[in-house]
Amino acid sequence: MLFGFAARYNRQQLENCPVHFHYVAPSFWAWKGGESRLGGLSEFVDHLFCILPNEERVCREHGVEATFVGHPVLEDASEFNLMRTCKPQELKLEGLSFSEHSIPSVFMKQDSTVISVLPGSRLQEVERMLPIFCKAMKLLKDPFPKLVTLIHVASNSQVDHYIGKSLSEWPVPAILVPSGSTQLKYDAFGVSQAALCTSGTVAVELQLARLPSLVAYRAHFLTELLIRYKAKIPYISLPNILLDSPIIPEALFQACNPSNLASIVKRLLLDEKMRERQVVGAEKLIQLLHPSESRMGNSIHCTGLESHRYTPSMLAASTILSYVKR
């Protein structure tokens, strides 16, 4: 964990930089013995911006000056007014322009079942996950004859090319959603009834959109063995980790197979109580990801903005400015 920091910053760079801020703490909370290695961070950084609750406290306990500024996805919440309490149906209405302007109307009829599919951002994981997702969609084709998939494509030319080639074998109508537009991404979430995603930050984004989701993950068998041996948390998706509860169903390792994925997605589409649990969990998650007014402390009083209008980037900038004034 600390080796990565040391590799990025050599001694000469540190000497030429009077104050060094680092954005995003290492995932010390995920691995056995992670906290005990935090003390060495003070050799590389003067101040650490944390994006998750409790990271600030643990870092400070181990001699690292830190500030919890909130998770970056809150920038999206501020831009698209997604922080409000709402039901999934309300977000769907906001996404209708997406279907009118970007999706062929023949695919997006009123009685279509729409699933967002997010296979990952790196070629290796997409090559591993997309074929599994493809077989799962084939199993869902019969129970949902008007199934449509929105496949989100990462800003990676290799991933783009691979997914494009894979469409010839995709069993149901599919529309590719290119990356680069946050508005387009959330509009796609808005017209979807459920999502199937590879584990990653997208799980938080889907919670922000209040879209019921299933998180899946497969890796090389050696990587899976390492995770089983070294990880100290029972979940892999950040929402479940922060809420300490399996709010989002996870299909990991051997459980990540087409039959199991299809079964869970089917339940997500039909079980209203299961869907509602995720929406309720999303409200709790968003509160956790945003620093409270009391935790913002002096940062609020340095400007005329109200606390609920603060974004992580604004809090980070405010911290830097206050640091300079010392």
Alpha-carbon gap, residue 99 to 295, rounded angstroms = 41
For β-strands 21-23 and 113-118, DSSP reports them as unpaired
Alpha-carbon gap, residue 193 to 166, rounded angstroms = 23
3-state secondary structure of 110: coil
Residues 23/30, Cβ–Cβ less than 8 Å? no
Burial class (CB in 10 A: 0-12, 13-18, 19+), 195: buried
* Residue 264 binned pLDDT confidence (cut-offs 50, 70, 90): very high
For β-strands 147-153 and 174-178, DSSP reports them as parallel
**What's the pLDDT score for residue 296?**
56
3-state secondary structure of 214: strand
Selected residue with higher pLDDT from 89 and 162 = 162
pTM for the structure as a whole: 0.81
Alpha-carbon gap, residue 274 to 271, rounded angstroms = 5
What crossing angle do the helices spanning 312-324 and 73-80 adopt, rounded to 10°?
Answer: 110
Residues 95/191, Cβ–Cβ less than 8 Å? yes
**What's the pLDDT score for residue 106?**
42
**What's the pLDDT score for residue 108?**
55
Backbone angles phi, psi at 257, to 5 degrees: -130, 160
Most confident of 10-19, 41-50, 189-198, 230-239: 189-198
What crossing angle do the helices spanning 182-190 and 73-80 adopt, rounded to 10°?
Answer: 80
Give the distance from CA 217 to its chain's centroid: 14
Rg, Å, the chain Cα set? 21
pLDDT over 70 percentage in the chain: 78
Selected residue with higher pLDDT from 142 and 3 = 142
Alpha-carbon gap, residue 109 to 221, rounded angstroms = 42
Among the ranges given (35-44, 68-77, 178-187, 205-214), the one the predictor scored with the smallest mean pLDDT: 35-44
**In sequence order, what E strands does the chain have?**
21-23, 47-50, 66-68, 113-118, 147-153, 174-178, 194-198, 213-217, 250-252
For the stretch 21-44, pLDDT in tens is 889 888 888 888 778 778 777 777
**What's the pLDDT score for residue 11?**
47
Most confident of 12-16, 64-68, 95-99, 230-234: 64-68
* Residue 88 binned pLDDT confidence (cut-offs 50, 70, 90): very low
Alpha-carbon gap, residue 305 to 266, rounded angstroms = 45
3-state secondary structure of 45: coil
For the stretch 50-73, pLDDT in tens is 999 989 999 998 888 999 999 988
Residue 110 has pLDDT above 70, yes or no: no
Report the first-to-last Cα separation within the chain, whole angstroms.
31
Burial class (CB in 10 A: 0-12, 13-18, 19+), 157: exposed
Alpha-carbon gap, residue 132 to 119, rounded angstroms = 10
Alpha-carbon gap, residue 153 to 122, rounded angstroms = 10
Alpha-carbon gap, residue 207 to 11, rounded angstroms = 41
Helices (H), the chain: 2-8, 11-15, 55-61, 73-80, 88-94, 96-102, 123-140, 157-166, 182-190, 202-208, 221-230, 238-243, 258-270, 272-289, 293-296, 298-301, 312-324
**Token pair 């990991």 in the structure block, residue:** 252
Q: What is the mean pLDDT of residues 289-314?
A: 61
* Residue 158 binned pLDDT confidence (cut-offs 50, 70, 90): very high
* Residue 198 binned pLDDT confidence (cut-offs 50, 70, 90): very high
Backbone angles phi, psi at 63, to 5 degrees: 85, 15
Among the ranges given (12-21, 212-221, 310-319), the one the predictor scored with the smallest mean pLDDT: 12-21
3-state secondary structure of 80: helix
**What's the pLDDT score for residue 105?**
47
Residue 308 has pLDDT above 90, yes or no: no
Domains of the chain: 2-70+291-324 (no CATH), 74-287 (3.40.50.2000)
Selected residue with higher pLDDT from 214 and 79 = 214
What average pLDDT does the chain have? 81
**What's the pLDDT score for residue 312?**
86
Selected residue with higher pLDDT from 165 and 10 = 165
